[in-house]
Amino acid sequence: MTVKVFSDTNIVLYTIGQDAQKAKIARELMSLCPLVSAQVINESISVCLRKFGFTKERAYSFADSIMSFVDVLPVDEITIRKSSEIAIRYQLSNWDALIVAAALLANCDTLYSEDFQHGQVFETRLTVVNPFQ
């Protein structure tokens, strides 16, 4: 049985971060060709522009390089409706709930992120793993 994994925005961004150990781990995780949502790609672009000072060309080039080896899932009406259920049930922010909803709808087993509680399980089938612990 194949394990399906989903990566949060922080994992994507650590691939180009200053912390060498986190960058190494993040690159290893990204080499597994995880699923990400369109939200993850767009958040990555936004952070590259606002916090990292990238030019638009560089930010979009980075996004393009990520998209070349991951599967990007849409954030559609179904995802938004599922995220509202998740946000209310688990008391998550809208943005975090969208991540969880996308991973659940894709039938992922693992969500790699440092923004959630390590070991937290959503709907008895999606486990959060903080790879930096």
- The pLDDT value given to residue 42: 98
- The pLDDT value given to residue 3: 73
Mean pLDDT of 36-47: 98
pLDDT beyond 80 at 13: yes
- CATH 3.40.50.300 is the classification of domain 5-129: no
Write out pLDDT tens, residues 53-70: 999 999 999 999 999 989
pLDDT beyond 80 at 1: no
Q: What is the DSSP code string of 32-44?
A: T--EEEHHHHHHH
Q: What residue ranges in 3-130 does DSSP mark as E strands?
A: 5-7, 35-37, 71-73, 110-112, 121-122, 126-129
Domain ranges of the chain: 5-129
Contact 115, 96 (CB under 8 A): yes
pLDDT beyond 80 at 2: no
Write out pLDDT tens, residues 68-84: 989 999 999 999 999 99
Give the chain's mean pLDDT: 96
> CA–CA distance from 41 to each of 1, 21, 119 (Å)?
28, 22, 24
